């Protein structure tokens, strides 16, 4: 029965994250045909949120609960972030000969994603 509860928590969190990612991407990706702003934003916001949630689990026993952690960190953040879409979009930029856009998109996503995790961890110290 516990396994079924875990699967349900992941299902709901992942579904919610996926819906949020879809809405966010549809709103922001059409802004430019040279850069995927929606996917980029989702990855950075997802990294920030994940860092913040992980930081909270270090401080607060409530957030260390397996169900809440699985719902928020694994389900919601996992459904919200879009690394597979990110990889496909980078491939498209390369295929289209957009080498500068590829380099900027790749570097900015990785660097800002890592910095966002650190910022989220730092932010969690004040909550």
Mean pLDDT, the chain, rounded, equals: 91
Establish if 100 belongs to a structural domain.
Answer: yes
Establish if 91 belongs to a structural domain.
Answer: yes
The dihedral over CA atoms of 53, 54, 60, 64, expressed in degrees to the nearest 10, equals 100
pTM, two decimal places: 0.80
Establish if 3 belongs to a structural domain.
Answer: no
**Domain count of the chain?**
1
Q: What is the mean pLDDT of residues 1-10?
A: 91
Residue 62 has pLDDT above 80, yes or no: no
Establish if 1 belongs to a structural domain.
Answer: no
Q: pLDDT tens, 20-46?
A: 999 999 999 888 888 899 999 999 999
Following DSSP, what letter does each residue of 50-73 receive, concatenated? HHHHHHHHHH-TTTT-HHHHIIII
Q: pLDDT tens, 80-111?
A: 998 888 998 999 999 999 999 999 999 999 99
Please say whether the beta carbons of 79 and 17 come within 8 A. yes
Structural domain harbouring 37: 9-124
Establish if 54 belongs to a structural domain.
Answer: yes
pLDDT at position 104 is 97
């Amino acid at each position: 029965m516990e396994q079924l509860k875990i699967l349900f928590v992941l299902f709901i969190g992942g579904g919610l994250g996926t819906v949020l990612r879809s809405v966010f991407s549809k709103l922001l990706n059409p802004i430019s045909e040279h850069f995927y702003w929606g996917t980029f934003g989702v990855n950075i916001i997802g990294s920030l949120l994940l860092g913040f949630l992980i930081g909270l689990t270090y401080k607060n026993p409530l957030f260390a609960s397996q169900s809440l952690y699985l719902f928020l960190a694994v389900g919601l953040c996992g459904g919200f972030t879009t690394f597979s879409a990110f990889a496909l979009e980078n491939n498209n930029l390369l295929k289209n000969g957009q080498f500068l856009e590829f380099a900027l998109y790749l570097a900015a996503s990785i660097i800002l994603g890592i910095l966002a995790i650190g910022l989220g961890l730092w932010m969690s110290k004040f909550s």
